Amino acid sequence: MDFEKLTVVMRRLALEAGDRIMEIYNSDDFDVRSKSDDSPVTAADEAADALISAGLQAEFPDVTLITEEQADTHSKTAEEFLIVDPLDGTKEFVKRRGDFTVNIALVQGGVPVRGVVYAPAKGRMFYTDADGQSVEETGSLDPLKAGPTAPISVSTPDNAGLLLVASKSHRDQATEDYISKYACADTKSAGSSLKFCLVATGEADIYPRVGRTMEWDTAAGHAVLGGAGGHVVRYDDHSPLTYGKPGYENPFFIAYAPGVKLKPA
């Protein structure tokens, strides 16, 4: 894989998809439908998916593509693949809360090695550069011209007072029970893959997810966190979370900065 090219393409497509999403988000109204699993889908999901899929297939025609909105891709398997969630946090989008993201990642050997997470309503863009270091880009976020970037890095956590982030739309009693095992100085809620990015920038130390997710929900955020020095492990045995699983469904997991003393499930 040409990582220089991949960085440029993923960044551009994420920003272009974000622009399309925001056109719909800022419109007077948009339709919301339910998919077979009862999760919501909007015209923004579908428009962003079409744009990103076409762009990736044009630039990397020989790389397997997995995308949330195209069910026919979900049975494909490969050692290397691109995986896309064109609008993660559709519930946040529908409620106009802003915590939604565009996610594109490359997985090699079960590990997300490169990724981009763009939160268009918040104007925050995170991605791995060609060397695998995670950065946050600031400035105008022009799809055709990269702006200033700064490397991001996980925190040095204080286990006597951790900063914890949890799901905004999927926080349940099981999550609360696990959170209660830690000494937390602050607990915040966020939507979509932004939670991974908050750990990656040191704005949080740990993000536990005791609930269903799919690989396209997590791969880009996982890559960004990995490029900032963080880890993502299974909730049950603390082994690394891997990708390319049958059906692309994740087990429960914990994303965290090294130094956090993980509690047993």
Name the pairing type of β-strands 184-190 and 149-151: unpaired
The Cβ of residue 93 has, within 10 Å, a number of other Cβ atoms equal to 26
Find out whether 207 and 256 touch, Cβ atoms under 8 Å.
yes
Question: Using alpha carbons only, what angle is made at residue 125 by residues 256 and 56, rounded to the nearest 5 degrees?
Answer: 100
Taking only the tens place, the pLDDT of each residue in 17-41 is 999 999 999 887 777 666 656 566 7
Q: Where are the domains of the chain?
A: 3-151, 162-256
Mean pLDDT of 182-207: 95
CATH, range 162-256:
3.40.190.80
- Looking at residue 33, what is its pLDDT? 66
- Looking at residue 90, what is its pLDDT? 80
In this structure, the dihedral spanned by the alpha carbons of residues 75, 69, 120 and 148, taken in order and rounded to 10 degrees, is: 30
Mean pLDDT of 128-139: 97
Taking only the tens place, the pLDDT of each residue in 29-76 is 777 666 656 566 788 899 999 999 999 999 999 999 999 999 899 999
Name the pairing type of β-strands 253-256 and 162-167: unpaired
- How far apart CA 179 and CA 172 sit, in angstroms, is 11
Find out whether 110 and 77 touch, Cβ atoms under 8 Å.
no
- How far apart CA 232 and CA 230 sit, in angstroms, is 7
Token pair belonging to 137 = 């880009």
- Looking at residue 126, what is its pLDDT? 98
**How many CA atoms lie less than 13 Å away from 45 in the CB half-sphere?**
22
Mean pLDDT of 251-255: 98
Looking at domain 3-151, does it have CATH number 3.30.540.10?
Answer: yes
66-75, 94-103, 170-179, 236-245: which is most confident? 236-245
pTM value is 0.95
- Looking at residue 253, what is its pLDDT? 98
Taking only the tens place, the pLDDT of each residue in 196-222 is 999 999 999 999 999 999 999 999 999
User: Which sign does the torsion angle of CA 26, 27, 32, 37 carry?
Assistant: negative
Taking only the tens place, the pLDDT of each residue in 222-235 is 999 999 999 999 99
